[in-house]
Amino acid sequence: MSKHLTPDNILSFYNASISMISIEMDRKSYVEIRTLKDHNGEYLWTPSFAQDKPSLLIDIPISVIESKERVFRLKYTFKNGTSHIENFYE
């Protein structure tokens, strides 16, 4: 099943019960998310100009991986210690 990359889909995972969150994606997805905007027309992507700091999507660190497949994963850990990975492309 494929989910669409929309601000609402991504924001639905970003809540107070999560202690740590990161995003892993392929280069094609990275190009796509750079165009996402919120309801006020503001870009959700924040570029990094430092080599040791990742770019951000809604304040979530982004890792770009090499893959021939489309990849967009939200990796998060809840405050109770359980972890989960949400795949947007399967």
**Over residues 61-75, mean pLDDT:** 90
Q: What pLDDT was estimated at residue 2?
A: 45
**Integer Cα distance of 11 and 74 in angstroms:** 11
45-84 burial: b if 16+ Cβ within 10 Å, else e: eeeeeeeeebbebbebebebeeeeebbbbbebeeeeeeee
For residue range 34-55, what is the model confidence (pLDDT) as tens digits? 888 888 999 989 999 988 899 9
Quick check: pTM over 0.95? no
Q: Where are the domains of the chain?
A: 7-87
- 88: number of Cβ within 10 Å: 20
For the cut 50, the answer to whether the pLDDT of residue 89 exceeds it is: yes
Structure tokens at 86: 């949400």
For the cut 70, the answer to whether the pLDDT of residue 14 exceeds it is: no
